[in-house]
A and B are shown apart, each in its own frame.
Chain A
Amino acid sequence: MYKARRGRMLRHFLRDPSALVGGVILLLTIIGALFAPLISPQNPYDLEKVRLEDALKPPVWMPGGQKPFLLGTDEQGRDILSTILYGCRTSLSVAFGVVLLAGSFGLVMGLLAGFFGGILDAFVMRMADIFYSFSTTLMAILVLGLLKKKGIPVLILAISLTDWVRYARTLRGAVLAVKEEDYVSAARALGAGNLRILLRHVLPNAVPPLLVIAAVDFGVVIMLEATLSFLGVGLPVTEPSLGMMISIGRKYVYAGKWWLIVFPGITLTALVVSINLIADWLREEINPRIQRAVKGL
């Protein structure tokens, strides 16, 4: 992207209140997740720091609340705020992992399928059709449920297994749109090879729509990780996860221990909302056909 365009995008971002709110929330979450070991009051996965007699304490402002536990504690005496910070680490790592893995594989497949067509194209599009209709969520539940293996790497692989078609399909469309343009023919006439045409002329045009897909996908994967961990097929109990926290809290719904669910729930939703706000802004920035004036929110 050109420097002028980057500058314009930044100006728009700073002038768009909802994008700005999204950016701030996302930035705070990333900082909190990165520095969790430094800023969290307790390491909730260090068994020496967690004491069972601190279990199920309410937030500090409520009767029975205790000083270091700002948002209360869970059934094992883990500090809710600290567990949330560590959980965000997991959410963000899984999302980054999937976007990188599925995104790069989908990018290559979509690029090749759109550019060369033929059997590869047919294969990629059929896979895309099938995986789309079966949905990434359903496939991930089935694959993980059958594998009986848990952990962040397995989770990233299981989600990416079907998620790449999202990227491949978008890339293929973008490639088909520019393949027949005059400047591509001109480059070919000047003797440019396939690789040069792909990298210099086709790829730059395909990057903007890819960014929008990646942003949306980032939010979707965060929700998916939480869902899988909630169902008990995602991460093992030894790993911090917002979905797992809520699944533990579910046992105490009738006992009125709302803080076990409400705080991780707010964090999870705010994180995904912030990403969707940024994705909305990105989509508008890239597709000028949608007028800013008609924007609903």
Chain B
Amino acid sequence: MGAYLVRRLAQGILVLLAVSFICFVIFQYMGDPAGALAGRYATPKQLELVRKKLGLDKPFYVQYLIFLKNALHGNFGMSFVSRLPAMQVIIERLPATLELSLMAMLLAIGLGVSLGVLVSIAPDSLVSRLIMAGSLIGISIPTFLTGILLIMVFAVDLRVLPPFGRGEVVRIFGSWRSGLLTWDGLKHLILPAITLSSYQLAVLLRLTRAGMMEVLGEDYIKTAWAKGLPQRAVLFKHALRNALIPVVTVIGLQFGELIAFSIVTETVFQWPGMGNLLLSAIYESDQPVIVSYITFVSLIILGLNLLVDVLYVFINPKIRYV
């Protein structure tokens, strides 16, 4: 386990180095950072000064090492648009994205697994067929369309839920502002959370169902029934535990997807999170913010994947890392 962890960490660092190199190339060679910082009306002399200050006159590898050193200190330069440190701008948006993603994940895992079990118990009932039809639509409808349709029905027609923004937020500590503690904030969270969860919910539902169907046919389940165990014990203790192993794997693999879909959801609902910020940075060619976003998100994804791998050992004792 220890050796495995060290190898995984080394691998993660290697990936981060590759990411940083790509970011560096983007940063130095796409667009004109000196021109962007000096402003449109800079004289050639001023441009030269900025270039020197940014180290753009040094050789390639020296520039990369400087970039790496700065990156390790969390310094990715100033946002061209807001003139604030780029990483700080990203971190400020973190709470909004985190609250939305966590709610969506809870919804997807909770409903996905329980509906999946429900469907596997009575696969031919009308309710099961309706749920399966719903899940088919769930995996076939793009996230942005789900969001817009929900807005059309619940915000424009029925006028029961707000169509955009985060609503009223309260400061918890430091710069963390939460929308989970006010009624208004929660009301704003409902539609985006459903939107972000819908695809994953459908995927997890189908996976749980398929896993349960396969496990329920196994001999040890027949034994459990024959022993006269109550239904609850057979379904949840004997069957679900084994059916969940592939589900957990997929949940672990879905963090990248969750982040990607949060960009889409935040755009549809004008949710003030990191994804929304990334898209405006893309439109405005705000390279420092884009680079900070990529680095930050890579760190999150690699970290979470490592965590899932470690947790996996506890869920599935068959796995031994060497």
Inter-chain contacts of B152 with A (CB < 8 A): 253, 258, 261
Instruction: Give the A-B pair count, Cβ closer than 8 A.
Output: 117
Inter-chain contacts of B298 with A (CB < 8 A): 134
Does A137 sit at the interface, judged by CB under 8 A? yes
Q: Select from chain A the residue with minimum beta-carbon distance to B133.
A: A297
Q: Select from chain B the residue with minimum beta-carbon distance to A226.
A: B142
Q: Select from chain B the residue with minimum beta-carbon distance to A247.
A: B144
From B11, B137, B140, B256, name the one whose CB has the most chain A CB atoms within 10 angstroms: B140
Q: In B93-150, which residues have CB < 8 Å from any A CB?
A: 119, 123, 128-129, 132-133, 136-137, 139-145, 148-149
Does B261 sit at the interface, judged by CB under 8 A? yes
Inter-chain contacts of B267 with A (CB < 8 A): 231
From B119, B129, B142, name the one whose CB has the most chain A CB atoms within 10 angstroms: B142
Does B242 sit at the interface, judged by CB under 8 A? no
Does B248 sit at the interface, judged by CB under 8 A? no
Identify which of B213, B279, B282 contacts A294 (C-beta below 8 A).
Answer: B213
Does B193 sit at the interface, judged by CB under 8 A? no
Q: Which chain A residues have a beta carbon within 8 Å of chain B's beta carbons?
A: 126, 130, 132-135, 137-138, 141-142, 145-146, 148, 219, 223, 226-227, 230-233, 243, 246, 249-250, 253-254, 256, 258, 261, 265, 268-269, 272-273, 275-277, 290, 294-297
From A226, A265, A277, name the one whose CB has the most chain B CB atoms within 10 angstroms: A265
Q: Select from chain B the residue with minimum beta-carbon distance to A224.
A: B142
Please state if A268 and B132 are interface contacts (CB–CB under 8 Å).
no
Task: Tell me the minimal C-beta distance from B257 to chain A in angstroms.
Answer: 4
Tell me what chain A mostly uses at the interface: helix, strand, loop, or mixed: helix
Does B247 sit at the interface, judged by CB under 8 A? no
Inter-chain contacts of B129 with A (CB < 8 A): 296-297
Please state if B255 and A133 are interface contacts (CB–CB under 8 Å).
yes
Identify which of B148, B210, B305 contacts A133 (C-beta below 8 A).
Answer: B305
Q: Select from chain A the residue with minimum beta-carbon distance to B279.
A: A231
Please state if A137 and B151 are interface contacts (CB–CB under 8 Å).
no
Inter-chain contacts of A134 with B (CB < 8 A): 256, 298, 301
Q: Which chain B residues have a beta carbon within 8 Å of chain A's beta carbons?
A: 11, 15, 26, 30, 119, 123, 128-129, 132-133, 136-137, 139-145, 148-149, 151-152, 156, 209-210, 213, 253, 255-257, 259-261, 263-264, 267-268, 278-279, 282-283, 285, 290, 294, 297-298, 301-302, 305
Inter-chain contacts of A138 with B (CB < 8 A): 256-257, 259-260, 263, 297
Cα separation A186 to B151 with both chains bound (whole Å): 63
Please state if B290 and A276 are interface contacts (CB–CB under 8 Å).
no
Please state if B283 and A294 are interface contacts (CB–CB under 8 Å).
no
Please state if B260 and A141 are interface contacts (CB–CB under 8 Å).
yes
Please state if B128 and A141 are interface contacts (CB–CB under 8 Å).
no
Q: Select from chain B the residue with minimum beta-carbon distance to A269.
A: B141
Cα separation A126 to B15 with both chains bound (whole Å): 10
Cα separation A116 to B62 with both chains bound (whole Å): 39
Task: Tell me the minimal C-beta distance from B144 to chain A in angstroms.
Answer: 5
Please state if B136 and A133 are interface contacts (CB–CB under 8 Å).
no
Cα separation A252 to B88 with both chains bound (whole Å): 35
Inter-chain contacts of B143 with A (CB < 8 A): 227
Please state if B209 and A272 are interface contacts (CB–CB under 8 Å).
no
Task: Tell me the minimal C-beta distance from A287 to chain B in angstroms.
Answer: 11
Identify which of A142, A145, A261, A296 contacts B148 (C-beta below 8 A).
Answer: A261
Please state if A253 and B156 are interface contacts (CB–CB under 8 Å).
yes
Inter-chain contacts of A254 with B (CB < 8 A): 156
Task: Tell me the minimal C-beta distance from B259 to chain A in angstroms.
Answer: 6
Inter-chain contacts of A126 with B (CB < 8 A): 11
In the complex, 23 of the A-B residue pairs with CB atoms within 8 angstroms, ordered by the A residue number, are A132-B256, A133-B302, A133-B305, A135-B257, A138-B257, A138-B260, A141-B263, A227-B142, A230-B144, A233-B282, A253-B151, A253-B156, A254-B156, A261-B149, A261-B152, A268-B142, A269-B145, A272-B140, A273-B137, A276-B136, A276-B140, A296-B123, A296-B129
Cα separation A38 to B141 with both chains bound (whole Å): 29
Inter-chain contacts of B282 with A (CB < 8 A): 145-146, 233
Inter-chain contacts of B148 with A (CB < 8 A): 246, 249-250, 253, 261, 265
Known contacts A126-B11, A132-B253; is A227 also within 8 Å of B140 by CB? no
Please state if A269 and B290 are interface contacts (CB–CB under 8 Å).
no
Identify which of A137, A265, A273, A296 contacts B145 (C-beta below 8 A).
Answer: A265
The 3 A-B pairs at the shortest CB distance, nearest first, are namely A135-B256, A137-B260, A138-B260
From B141, B253, B255, B302, name the one whose CB has the most chain A CB atoms within 10 angstroms: B141
Known contacts A135-B260, A138-B256, A145-B282; is A297 also within 8 Å of B137 by CB? no
